[in-house]
With several copies, the nearest count.
Chain A
Amino acid sequence: MMGAGDDDALDLSVELGSLRLRNPIIAASGCYNRGAEFGRIMDVAAYGAVTLKSVTREPRLGNEMPRLLSTPGGLLNAIGLQGPGIAYFLEHEAPKLAAVPSAVIASVAGFSVAEFAEVASRMDGIPGIVAIELDVSCPNVDAEGACFAEDPASTAAVVEAVKARVTKVPVIAKLTPNVSDIKPVARAAEAAGADALSLINSLRGMSVDVDRARPWLANRSGGLTGPAIRPVGVYHVWEAATAVKIPIIGMGGIETGRDALEYLMAGATAISIGTANFRDPLAPLHVGETIAAELRKRSFTRVRSLTGMANPGFAGARA
């Protein structure tokens, strides 16, 4: 298997702040981890970077069962941030990262500004971690449970607190599509010092089990992901790309190279694949091949030339 970056004539590398990735294809948080599992049947190196599952301060057992439901074109999940917490992560998981054949982006989740700052600062400088993504889609317990990412000020507060303590790697703010207008949130994250944005996280949804007259998911509602939400993701990336100069990692329903190209042309510098791993673990390879073919077709040499191509309002640096 050939990584997407192996074609000599083409430059697939992209820059996210000070971070340079050999190709723009990233595995999304919660869907791939460091590749220990999917690596049994595909080459993890197909990814320019992999994003780890979000880590919280304390260990979390996550939600009750069932946690997943297939919906038309999508997947509804309510895992509930199951994970071992930062201490266990540093002791048992971090040492394995150096062996991952791709760049590794850590993800931090939290329920208060302080939790984000603490967990992120403990990740800073860990060998193998090249960037830290902030999953600000959790409820903010300091603010009566409203979700950080739905509010520009709360988003900025998290980014600012993290940037004050994380100095060695770029910080990526991951935004939610559950807003009327993503531009103010994107601008707030940028102003607070975010080096890049990731969007979109999952869309809020739920389903009722009609036979039992109760919600399907034990957690009632969950996050909708997969191809069903692709138009929503492309829309938000397009909008955010008109509002900020920092690079955007686009995601939401990407399965094929053409899907990835939609995001790039809308304004994304890199793209992430989440749910599609659960269907086609070779997706990153196919996406890489299609991007390379598109560059050749257009006589482009660098993938960055595609970024924002379709978006006349694109505000970012085309590099």
Chain B
Amino acid sequence: MVSTPLLEAAELISRERVAPGFWCLGFRSPEIARRARPAHYVAIDLPGTFSVRLPLGIWTARDDTFTLLFREWGERTTRLACIADHEPLSIIGPLGNEFSLPDTGKRAVIVAGGIGVVPFWLLVRELLAAKVRTTVVLGARSKHMLVGVDELRALGADVKICTDDGSAGTRATALDLARELAPPDVFYGCGPPPLLRALSEHANAAGIPCQISMEETFGCSMGTCWGCVVPIRRGSPQAVGYPHASDEKREYDFARVCVDGTVFWSREILWNR
């Protein structure tokens, strides 16, 4: 289901540097917090910049507050990290579709790479509430880039960690670790494209349903600019295609990550086109 977003003022209520270059900021923004569903994101207007809104996934949400967990990439994330208490922040959200849940009693494996952990706090909370047996496999380049572990464990999730350099948990990729687990009823993935692609291929080959939260460069964050599209299987329910152009032999259509996603079924994504 696609969200009904709104434009809301947000008040900064907490700021924590969770790792070098990684921040967790808390905001009071009642309506957005209340509507947040797993995989929803917000689009933030940074005061004092001349940029389009910054899209960031919603990490935790409780009552009338939510948190964002992000890395300092460039202009906007750096600016957000040092936003002052009294600066007004305008936020649009929640945006995007959401993960769908399996039935009670099923098993889910979540595969997250680095900051790709963000959509999974809300998802884990839902899964556990729905009595889905859930394992989170969290990978990162090294210990210092592994964020969110404590919060997920605090929800009661079974969290396995790994790093490329072995500085924390197993020395492996998240997918390696996930492959060692008993095949689940559903996979969820978020993180760097190579990880998502490998996960998709693994799930597709094993015939396991798999939902991927994708990322692209956004312009409008609202579905109007067509800047954020990904190629998906032609005729997929999420595709925004032109069915009449039937003379063409192409197998793909485009979907907008910002409003048709961010969540897509791994079978629909055409990594190879």
Given contacts A70-B51, A79-B225, contact A278 B75 (CB under 8 A): no
Which residues of A are found within 8 Å of B45, using beta-carbon distances?
279-280
Cβ B52 vs Cβ A79 within 8 A:
no
Q: Which of A179-235 contact B (CB under 8 A)?
A: 226-228
A30 interface contact, C-beta 8 A: yes
Q: Which residue from B4, B5, B75, B219 sits with its C-beta under 8 Å from A75?
A: B219
- In the complex, the answer to whether A70 meets B229 with C-beta atoms within 8 Å is no
Most chain A Cβ neighbours within 10 Å, of B6, B217, B218: B217
Interface residues on A, range: 35 or more
| Chain A residues, CB < 8 A from B7 | 41-42, 281-282
Binary B-proximity of A242-268 (CB < 8 A = 1, otherwise 0): 000000000000010000000000000
User: Distance (Å) between the CB of A169 and the closest chain B CB?
Assistant: 24
Residue A66 is within 8 A (CB to CB) of chain B in the complex: yes
| Chain B 239-265 near chain A by CB (<8 Å), digits 1 or 0 | 000101100001000100001000000
B224 near A31 with CB under 8 A, answer yes
Which residues of chain B come closer than 8 Å to A38, judged between CB atoms? 220, 222, 224
Which residues B1-49 have CB closer than 8 A to chain A? 4-7, 45
A65 close to B230 (CB less than 8 A): yes
* Contact between B226 and A79, CB atoms less than 8 A apart: yes
Contact B225 A84 (CB under 8 A): no
Q: Are A77 and B219 in contact (CB under 8 A)?
A: yes
Q: Number of contacting residues on B, CB 8 A? A: 35
Of all chain A residues, the one with the shortest Cβ separation from B256 is A37
Docked complex Cα distance between A224 and B11 (Å): 33
A32 touches B (CB below 8 Å): yes
Segment 114-146 of B: residues with Cβ below 8 Å from A: none
Give complex CA distance A68, B219 in Å: 7
Using known A-B contacts A59-B242, A67-B217, A79-B227, determine if residue A41 contacts B50 with beta carbons closer than 8 Å: no
Residues of B within 8 A of A73 (CB): 50-51
Residues of B within 8 A of A66 (CB): 216-217
Complex Cα gap A282–B216 (Å): 25
Check A62 for interface membership: any CB of B closer than 8 A. Answer: yes
Specify the chain A residue showing the minimal Cβ separation from B4: A40
Taking a contact as CB atoms under 8 Å apart, the answer to whether B222 and A37 are in contact is: yes
| Assembly CA distance A279 to B92 (angstroms) | 10
- Which applies to chain B's interface (DSSP): helix, strand, loop or mixed? loop
Give the distance in Å from the alpha carbon of A85 to the alpha carbon of B7 in the complex: 33
> Given A40-B5, A41-B92, A62-B229 in contact, is the A278-B53 Cβ separation under 8 Å?
yes
Contact A62 B52 (CB under 8 A): no
A275 to B52, CA, bound (A): 8
Interface of A is mostly: loop
Q: Which of A45-82 touch B at CB < 8 Å?
A: 53, 58-59, 61-62, 65-70, 72-75, 77, 79, 82
CB nearest neighbor in B for A274: B225
> In angstroms, how far is the closest chain B Cβ from the Cβ of A1?
11
Q: Is A126 an interface residue (CB 8 A)?
A: no
Contact B229 A65 (CB under 8 A): yes
Pairwise interchain contact B220-A277, C-beta atoms closer than 8 A: yes
Selected contact of A37 from candidates B4, B76, B218, B259, CB within 8 Å: B259
**CA separation between A62 and B221, bound complex, in Å?**
18
- Inter-chain pairs besides A61-B254, A70-B76, A277-B224, 17 sampled, C-beta below 8 Å: A30-B225, A31-B220, A37-B259, A40-B5, A41-B92, A42-B7, A59-B242, A59-B244, A62-B229, A67-B228, A68-B219, A70-B52, A79-B225, A82-B226, A88-B244, A226-B52, A281-B222
**Would you list 23 pairs from A and B whose C-beta atoms are within 8 A, ordered by A residue?**
A37-B220, A40-B4, A41-B5, A41-B7, A41-B92, A42-B7, A59-B242, A67-B228, A70-B51, A70-B76, A73-B50, A75-B51, A77-B219, A82-B254, A84-B244, A84-B245, A85-B242, A91-B244, A226-B50, A275-B52, A278-B52, A278-B219, A281-B222
Ordered nearest first, which 8 A-B pairs have the shortest CB separation? A278-B52, A68-B227, A73-B50, A37-B222, A59-B245, A37-B224, A227-B50, A72-B50
Interface residues of A (CB under 8 A from B): 30-33, 36-38, 40-42, 53, 58-59, 61-62, 65-70, 72-75, 77, 79, 82, 84-85, 87-88, 91, 226-228, 255, 275, 277-282
- Residues of B at the A interface (CB closer than 8 Å) are 4-7, 45, 50-53, 74-76, 90, 92, 216-230, 242, 244-245, 250, 254, 259
